[in-house]
């Protein structure tokens, strides 16, 4: 037989203890380190990584398949089982080559996206004079980083800087159009 024991009645929390716990939690929140990372700094590099990975997977897989065909063209299989293993091995090589190239290309494009957003955010916080040209500065800085990373000749560096400047100017124009649209939307809501 199971013995029944009498449990003490549940204790009701004391309001003073609740206040003390609440104060401790508030103090922890005040003492915690908060990082305010702009959403753009997370979205742009992530999208660049995804696009780079997709491009790398397709290019790397195709190149690995062609490499496998070239390496094994001199000795094609002669049996059904041989063809099965030939295609199976080729498919594995294609997958492995695609994943390697996808990771590399995704990392490179994601890194360049991080450089762009980092430069843009840094120039935006540097002061009012720098904030005006933050998009152009980020485009030119990213072009310089790209050119230095691949050690391009000076003629190509000039083209990259020009392209980075054009992208920066287009980004500035788009940013101003979006800002003006939001301002007009807010003013329209205020009139109603």
pLDDT in tens, 93-104: 999 999 999 999
Helix axes 134-150, 154-191, angle to 10 degrees: 150
Q: Is the pLDDT of residue 177 over 60?
A: yes
pLDDT in tens, 24-70: 888 887 777 777 888 888 999 999 999 999 999 999 999 999 999 99
Widest CA span in the chain: 93
Residue 130 pLDDT = 83
């Amino acid at each position: 037989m199971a013995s029944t024991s009498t449990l003490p009645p549940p204790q009701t929390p004391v309001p003073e203890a609740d206040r003390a716990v609440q104060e401790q939690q508030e103090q922890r929140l005040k003492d915690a380190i908060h990082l305010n990372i702009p959403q753009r700094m997370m979205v742009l590099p992530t999208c660049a990584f995804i696009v780079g990975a997709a491009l790398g997977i397709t290019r790397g897989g195709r190149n690995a398949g062609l490499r496998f065909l070239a390496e094994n063209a001199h000795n094609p299989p002669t049996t059904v089982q041989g063809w099965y293993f030939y295609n199976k091995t080729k498919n594995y090589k294609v997958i492995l080559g695609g994943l390697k190239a996808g990771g590399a290309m995704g990392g490179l494009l994601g890194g360049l996206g991080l450089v762009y957003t980092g430069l843009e955010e840094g120039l935006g916080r540097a002061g009012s004079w720098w904030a005006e040209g933050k998009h152009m500065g980020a485009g030119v800085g990213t072009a310089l980083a790209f050119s230095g990373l691949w050690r391009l000749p000076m003629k190509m560096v000039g083209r990259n800087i020009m392209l980075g400047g054009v992208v920066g100017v287009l980004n500035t124009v788009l940013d101003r159009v979006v800002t003006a649209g939001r301002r007009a939307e807010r003013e329209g809501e205020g009139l109603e």
